[in-house]
Amino acid sequence: MSETEVQPRAYRRPVSTWWWLEKRSYFVFAMRELSSVFVAWFVVFLLMLTYAVGRGDDQYQSFLDWAATPWVVVLNLVTLVFVVLHMVTWFNLTPQATVVRLRGQRVPAWAIIASQYVGLAVVSAFVIWLVTR
C-alpha cells in the first residue's frame, strides 16, 4: 500500500472478526448493516412473484403455495424483523442527515421522525387498497 510509504508506521491493534459481538451497540450496528441482505432477498422474492403472475394463474397459485412452505415463511418472518429494524434505524437517522427549515426555524428532530411515520402509514394504506380492492 502506498499509504505506509509516506506515513510513519504506527502500531495498529488488530481487530477481531467478531468485534461486533463485543458491545450491544456494535451488534445493533452490524444487524442494521445486515438488513440490506434481507432487502435484496425481498426484491428477489417480488421478482419471482411478478414472473409467476406474468406466466398465468396456475403459476401464480403455485408461487403462493411455495411461499407458504415452512422455510420460506420463516425466511420472510426474519425478513420482516430486519426490514422493520431498517425502517426504525433509517427514520431515526434522517434528522441527523438532513436539516429542514420552515420560516427560518429548524424543524425539530421529532417532527421529522414523526412525519416519516405518517408517510409510512399513507403508503401502506395505499398499497393495501391497490392490491386488495
Whether 34 contacts 82, CB under 8 Å: yes
Residue number, 111 or 126, with CB nearest to other proteins:
126
Q: Give contact residues for other proteins (rule: CB under 8 A).
A: 15, 17, 20, 30, 33-37, 39-40, 42-47, 49-51, 53-57, 60-61, 64-65, 67-68, 72-73, 76-77, 79-80, 83-84, 86-87, 90-91, 97, 116, 119-120, 123-124, 127-128, 130-133
Residue 108's contacts (CB-CB under 8 Å, 6 or more residues apart) are: 95
Residue number, 60 or 107, with CB nearest to other proteins:
60
Q: Closest distance between other proteins and the C-beta of residue 57, in Å?
A: 4
Residue number, 13 or 103, with CB nearest to other proteins:
13
Residue 120's contacts (CB-CB under 8 Å, 6 or more residues apart) are: 87
Q: How far apart are the first and last CA of the chain?
A: 60
Report residue 66: phi and psi, to 5°: -60, -40
Q: Closest distance between other proteins and the C-beta of residue 7, in Å?
A: 17
Residue number, 24 or 104, with CB nearest to other proteins:
24
The burial class, CB within 10 Å (0-12 / 13-18 / 19+), for 132 is exposed
